[in-house]
Amino acid sequence: MTDSPPPSTGASAAGPPVPSAVALSGVTKAFGAVRAVDGIDLEIRAGEFFSMLGPSGSGKTTVLRMIAGFEEPTGGRVLLGGTDVTRLAPFDRDVNTVFQDYALFPHLSVRQNVEYGLKVKRVPRAERTRRAAEALAAVRLEDFAARRPAELSGGQRQRVALARALVNRPSVLLLDEPLGALDLKLRLEMQIELKQIQREAGITFVFVTHDQDEALTMSDRIAVFNAGRIEQVGTPAEVYEHPATEFVAGFVGTSNLLQGDAAAQVFGEPGLYSVRPEKVRITHPDDPAGPDECSAPGTIVEVVYAGALTRFVVDLEAGGRLVALRQNVEESSTDVARHRGSTVLLAWQRRHTVRLSARPGDTTPNDNPQ
Ligand code: ADP
Ligand code: MG
């Protein structure tokens, strides 16, 4: 690569000239003795669907509120589009927030709810009407404009809240667990729909969730939060296939850890290792493993039938325990149950073994900060 100007087809992949949509630099937030956010560096690219994933209390909402301007950092800087906004009020920032509880006005129609913010900003009536119609079309609610929120389903209310934010045409939309109030089926539908809306609108989404499947399904990139820090930033595949730390391996998927003597025996070197359950093949103890495979003999101690898949829990001769997943291509629940107590050999491609560090920073496999 040379440092000639990026091609005119778009600058996103070329890097440096494009300022990040959102950049956090050494951001901390203390509430009294509680360090809710403990030194975060992060760059979110324009047009990205970026998720902040982590357990309850890990600091996700506090980070989002600092980007929005509802909370002032104790230390560090917040930049939007390359401009330092750390001390700016929320209404002076080019962002909008969608909250979990939607906060719709019950006495106003859908259209009036969507227009409300523009009215406050004294946008002329004709433009208001046009932009509200566009926003309602973007969330596919044109036919519901005259209804009150009470006359809508949960998913439709969610989309009104989204339209109310989109109508302001923010360059960044912040969403704090926006699907949390929906039942599972609707959630899965809205995950796909929200992603589609984001792609069509071309707006940067910063999406907070504690649900790993949701983050894996929707995101371009994910930041995994733990106790006020980011343990890893990466694409869904990077975070899932190459977790950087023990925490990430456990929080995103089944961890399947091997350590101590068991690890030394299986891998020839002590350390902390993980292998994803769907990568592990179950074979007969007399079948040799391939030249590029790791293997470990053991006994099936538990068989859990889950419709499409069966989960085999195997205690290894070396000590430790691994879970292997198998698709039920031919087998039924009664077929798989008889495997309990069998002696087997587990085998997996060497490249699917992930070496973990116990804490972030022990190794630097993630791309944060840039
Ligand atoms: P998450 O959104 O990941 O669940 P939060 O950002 O809401 O996490 O909270 C992070 C930590 O900061 C928690 O320990 C929480 O109790 C604490 N916290 C958040 N807001 C406040 C506040 N206004 N006052 C005191 N502590 C707070
Ligand atoms: Mg939260």
Q: State the first-to-last Cα distance of the chain, in angstroms, to the nearest integer.
A: 18
Reply yes or no on whether the pLDDT at 311 is more than 50: yes
pLDDT at position 370 is 30
Split at pLDDT 50, 70, 90, the class of 16 is low
Split at pLDDT 50, 70, 90, the class of 110 is very high
Q: How far apart are CA 46 and CA 12, in angstroms?
A: 8
- Mean pLDDT, range 287-298, rounded to an integer: 93
Residue 236 Cα to ligand 2 middle (Å):
21
- Mean pLDDT, range 109-126, rounded to an integer: 94
In short, whether 58's Cβ falls inside 6 Å of ligand 1 is: yes
For a mutational test of ligand 1's pocket, the pick from 34, 58, 70, 72, i.e. the residue with the most ligand atoms closer than 8 A to its C-beta, is 34
Split at pLDDT 50, 70, 90, the class of 335 is confident
- Find the range with the poorest average confidence among 106-110, 182-186, 241-245: 182-186
Split at pLDDT 50, 70, 90, the class of 10 is very low
Q: How far apart are CA 358 and CA 363, in angstroms?
A: 10
In short, whether 61's Cβ falls inside 6 Å of ligand 1 is: yes
Nearest residue (CA) to ligand 1, atom 5:
59
Split at pLDDT 50, 70, 90, the class of 13 is low
Reply yes or no on whether the pLDDT at 170 is more than 70: yes
β-strand 34-44 against 95-98: which pairing, if any?
Answer: unpaired
Residue 235 Cα to ligand 1 middle (Å):
26
CATH annotation of 256-355: 2.40.50.140
Residue 23 Cα to ligand 1 middle (Å):
21
Reply yes or no on whether the pLDDT at 362 is more than 90: no
- Mean pLDDT, range 114-138, rounded to an integer: 93
CB of 332 closer than 8 Å to CB of 339: no
Q: Which atom of ligand 1 is nearest to the CA of 56?
A: 4
In short, whether 56's Cβ falls inside 6 Å of ligand 1 is: yes
Q: Which pair of tokens denotes residue 260?
A: 């101590």
Residue 60 Cα to ligand 2 middle (Å):
6
Reply yes or no on whether the pLDDT at 51 is more than 50: yes
Query: Do 256-355 and 10-250 have the same topology in CATH?
Result: no
Q: Which atom of ligand 1 is nearest to the CA of 59?
A: 6
Mean pLDDT of the chain: 89
CB of 293 closer than 8 Å to CB of 352: no
CATH class of 10-250: alpha beta
pLDDT at position 15 is 53
Q: Which pair of tokens denotes residue 55?
A: 């357990």
CB of 353 closer than 8 Å to CB of 269: no
Q: How far apart are CA 357 and CA 336, in angstroms?
A: 35
Q: Which ligand is nearest to the CA of 36?
A: 1
Nearest residue (CA) to ligand 1, atom 22:
31
In short, whether 55's Cβ falls inside 6 Å of ligand 1 is: no
Split at pLDDT 50, 70, 90, the class of 4 is very low
Domain range list for the chain: 10-250, 256-355
Strand, helix or coil for residue 179? coil
- Mean pLDDT, range 130-147, rounded to an integer: 93
Q: Which ligand is nearest to the CA of 53?
A: 1
Reply yes or no on whether the pLDDT at 174 is more than 50: yes
Split at pLDDT 50, 70, 90, the class of 8 is very low
DSSP 80-126: ETTEE-TT--GGGSSEEEE-TT----TTS-HHHHHHHHHHHTT--HH
- Find the range with the poorest average confidence among 12-21, 157-166, 175-184: 12-21
pLDDT in tens, 189-211: 889 888 998 998 889 999 999 99
Q: Within 10 A of 112 (CB to CB), how many other CB atoms are there?
A: 15
pLDDT at position 14 is 55
pLDDT at position 5 is 44
Q: Which ligand is nearest to the CA of 57?
A: 1
Strand, helix or coil for residue 164? helix
Q: How far apart are CA 208 and CA 223, in angstroms?
A: 10
47: left (phi over 0), alpha (psi -120 to 50) or beta: left
In short, whether 253's Cβ falls inside 6 Å of ligand 1 is: no
Half-sphere exposure of 116 (CA within 13 A, CB side): 16
The residue among 358 and 112 whose pLDDT is bigger is: 112
Nearest residue (CA) to ligand 1, atom 2:
61
In short, whether 62's Cβ falls inside 6 Å of ligand 1 is: yes
Half-sphere exposure of 67 (CA within 13 A, CB side): 34
- Mean pLDDT, range 129-148, rounded to an integer: 93
Split at pLDDT 50, 70, 90, the class of 18 is confident
